[in-house]
Structure 1
Amino acid sequence: MTNFVEELRWRGMLQDIMPGTEEKLNEGMTSGYIGFDPTADSLHVGHLTQIMTLIHFQRAGHKPIALVGGATGMVGDPSGKSAERNLQTEKMVEHNLTELKKQLARFLKFEEAGNGAVMINNADWFKDMSLFTFIRDIGKHITVNYMMAKDSVKRRLEGDSGLSFTEFCYQLIQGYDFYYLWKHHNCLVQMGGSDQWGNIVTGTELIRRKDAGTAYAITTHLIKKSDGTKFGKTESGAVWLDAGKTSPYKFYQFWLNASDADTKMWIRIFTLKTKEEIEGLEAEHDVAPHLRILQKALAEDITVRTHSDAALETAIKTSEFLFGNGSLEFFGTLSDNQVLEIFEGIPQFNILKSELEAGLDAATLLAEKSTVFASKGEAKKLIQGGGVSVNKEKINDPQGILSTGNLLNDKFIIVQKGKKNYFLLIAE
């Protein structure tokens, strides 16, 4: 068995740990859990720190429990929030739970003998519990003074939006989750992000006061980007683990485009590489930073584990096609939807296939039938200067004819103006 806490330490993940936790874990296999609220039908990269925590927990010989909040997902956690979230319907939550189970199964070993991961839904114990039972058997053990002292509660009470009774109860509900898992599944440790510390210790306190039991807590750092912007967000929104929401190519590019400072932190947190492997990669990277050795290692590792080897291969070939010397043969392997995904956010113009059948000169196609250029004069000047490529090949004659023979997949023409400005012409 490896030392789980030490693993978190050298990776720069450990934030808070309750006294006695490390010693307890070193005694032998221990069950521990992290909660995931089903507020969407996919997890995103913001959840990866907690997923990695469970992975390391299992690799250290312990038993991970992924608690999916079928009940708490319909309430909402005030921790780190400035306003109350929209509540989910039961049907929405059930759909989200099904999808999250599929995603977590990509990262955790559920069939492992002994310390195989398990998924548990807290709706199993809350769905038939009455309010009176809850306030009589649970609420009496935690005082309002104790709950009011939590930072997450204080911030909301001092803010403009206030705090509903629903969200005020959340820490007690989460506390009971821990109590139930401790009582019925011998779960001794709860883990989570540092914003969950207050909720987690409410659970340990409930276990102590209600049954005179002992439980433990660990939290990890909340991940931030070195430039101060929010981790896991791009101009187009969250980076999802579902390939249907964020394509493997865009997922790969998210990690590939990370700054050196972020990558040196993230490669420790989001990969399973050893300390020696990471230090070796860092040494190579520092010799030739322009090769982005660290970024490639990070992007490849996490893309394979989130998606697949095949998805990584497609993402790399797509990147080479757009930014290197990738072949047009690769483009022919893509579906129309994959092409549109790759070029999402890149200017697109619809053109008539019937007009292409007769042939159009390059300047007319690029300045009149589309607006890649504002005028024919501008088009002619840049084409003659060697600054325009059509389907990855430079053109130098503004009067050169382009036709349906230039269509890729019988539908697309890729125009490149300069080194990085792409345009997609779509023939209909």
Structure 2
Amino acid sequence: MTYHPKSDFMSVMMERGFLADCTDYQAFDDALSSGIVPGYIGFDATAKSLHVGSLIQIMTLRWLQKTGHKPITLMGGGTTKVGDPSFRADERPLLTPEQIDDNIAGIKQVFAKYLDYGDGPTDALMLNNAEWLDDLNYLDFLRDIGRHFSVNRMLSFESVKSRLDREQSLSFLEFNYMILQAYDFLELNRRYGCLVQFGGSDQWGNIVNGIDLTRRVLDHEIYGMTTPLLTTSDGKKMGKTADGAIWLNADMRSPYEFWQFWRNTTDADVGRFLKLYSELPVEECERLGALAGSEINEAKIVLANEVTTLCHGAEAAAAAEATAREVFEKGGIGEDLPTLTVTPDDLPLSVVQAIVKAGLAKSGKEAKRLIAENGARIDDAPLTDAGLMLDAGALASPVKLSAGKKRHALVQLAG
């Protein structure tokens, strides 16, 4: 599709690779050009932090604000009680209200780094859909809202169809989810004049539902825009690694490990990720992405620094780079490495346990396999003895453990 946008926001979305689809390019672009557009993304509170997979959505809202519009972050305090069935093979475990509130508190910390909240015309709003979902009267809701939904059409959505095609159970609870998400859009339009919902391309059906419902109930024109579902060039889902999700909260994934994730980007992804996850000019992103040989490693460091600065601050990014250079270039011990502190009561500690506790392996079995396959090192020397015990003498100074070439941790004695 060749479309030449008028608005700054649409230009950024198209130039930088954020745009997968839009319900009406022309009308949405006209709205963006003629005033402040409030736009929202909903985030269910299924964990205490969002991970890198949500970063494209957060950056969409950041660009919305930077181009003069109003972002709304909608916490799914109500919908999390149901669970989104989209493209899941099974039903989500249900959380208690206390767990949901805890998760929302953790997620809010992330948004504060990317968006400016307040009462101004383009200041971000933080809302919780429990505000209108918790007090719904079921019979009124069925009569006023449910009558606008065709079950035939709902069954045709890919997210539902994929579950049914595999003959996996889809509970009535989950089937309601798309009606609740559509109702969110209606309420946000009614209460806050929200004109657009953003989401990953797997949310297209849910977004269109909300647009149709709002047209039928309020006769208002609103829009939907989706971002691509990102995978790395080797086909892996964005934000997931062998050792788990890359969380955005520092207490769940250290800034050093976060920096390392970006530093280890595949060569082919550098330019694309710079456009999506940094604010460097597009030409510079393309120049860096086109570098080859050892120069592409410097481009990866730029990527890691830019993304870590946005998420954890410039100091954390600089400290991570300094640690990485020390560890990789000098074989030294970086101060910023993830550290396991043990007390004299923990000693002697087996090296296998140390590897697990330091987060370099998920289990003793995995740690032993790492050692057997020559993938473990202790103070940069090959670790071959899985029966090695660390005592007070061995920990007189911090010991560096490594899994492969890129993952390291320190073990030190308290005191």
Alignment TM-score, normalising by the size of structure 1: 0.80
Aligned to 1:154: 161
CA distance in 1, matches of 2:406, 2:231: 29
Aligned to 1:188: 195
Aligned to 1:310: 315
User: What runs of 5+ residues in structure 2 fail to find an aligned partner?
Assistant: 1-5, 343-353, 365-369, 382-390
Aligned to 1:136: 143
CA distance in 1, matches of 2:320, 2:99: 31
Q: Note closer, same or farther for the CA distance 1:79–1:326 as it changes in structure 2 (3 Å cut).
A: same
Aligned to 2:185: 178
Larger radius of gyration: 1
One-letter code aligned to 1:99: G
Aligned to 1:345: 360
Aligned to 1:217: 224
Q: Deviations over 1:75-117 (max 9, x none)?
A: 1111121211111111111111111112111111113732000
Q: Note closer, same or farther for the CA distance 1:60–1:261 as it changes in structure 2 (3 Å cut).
A: same
Q: Deviations over 1:338-357 (max 9, x none)?
A: 9989964179x9xxxxxxxx
Q: Deviations over 1:40-59 (max 9, x none)?
A: 01110011010011011111
User: What runs of 5+ residues in structure 1 fail to find an aligned partner?
Assistant: 350-371, 375-388, 394-402
One-letter code aligned to 1:94: D
CA distance in 2, matches of 1:417, 1:67: 39
* Aligned: 1:68 with 2:75: yes
Q: Note closer, same or farther for the CA distance 1:423–1:67 as it changes in structure 2 (3 Å cut).
A: closer
What's the RMSD between the two structures over aligned residues?
3.5
Q: Is the 8 A contact 1:247 1:341 kept in 2?
A: no
* Aligned: 1:42 with 2:49: yes
Q: 1:154 Cα deviation (Å)?
A: 1.6
Aligned residues: 382
CA distance in 1, matches of 2:92, 2:7: 39
Aligned to 2:131: 124
Q: Note closer, same or farther for the CA distance 1:404–1:22 as it changes in structure 2 (3 Å cut).
A: same
CA distance in 2, matches of 1:306, 1:270: 10
User: Which of the numbers 11, 17, 22 marks the counterpart of 1:12?
Assistant: 17
- 1:25-104 to structure 2, matched below 5 A, reads 25-104=32-111
Q: 1:189 Cα deviation (Å)?
A: 0.7
Alignment TM-score, normalising by the size of structure 2: 0.82
* Aligned: 1:412 with 2:398: yes
Q: Is the 8 A contact 1:317 1:326 kept in 2?
A: no
Q: Which aligned runs of 4 or more in structure 1 are off by greater than 6 angstroms? A: 332-335, 338-342, 403-406, 415-425
Q: Is the 8 A contact 1:37 1:69 kept in 2?
A: yes
For residue 187 of structure 1, give the secondary structure of its aligned residue in structure 2: coil
For residue 283 of structure 2, give the secondary structure of its aligned residue in structure 1: helix
One-letter code aligned to 1:54: L
For residue 195 of structure 2, give the secondary structure of its aligned residue in structure 1: strand
Deviates more, 1:194-203 or 1:126-135: 126-135
Identity %: 39
User: Which of the numbers 238, 245, 250 marks the counterpart of 2:245?
Assistant: 238
One-letter code aligned to 1:157: L
Q: Note closer, same or farther for the CA distance 1:151–1:427 as it changes in structure 2 (3 Å cut).
A: closer
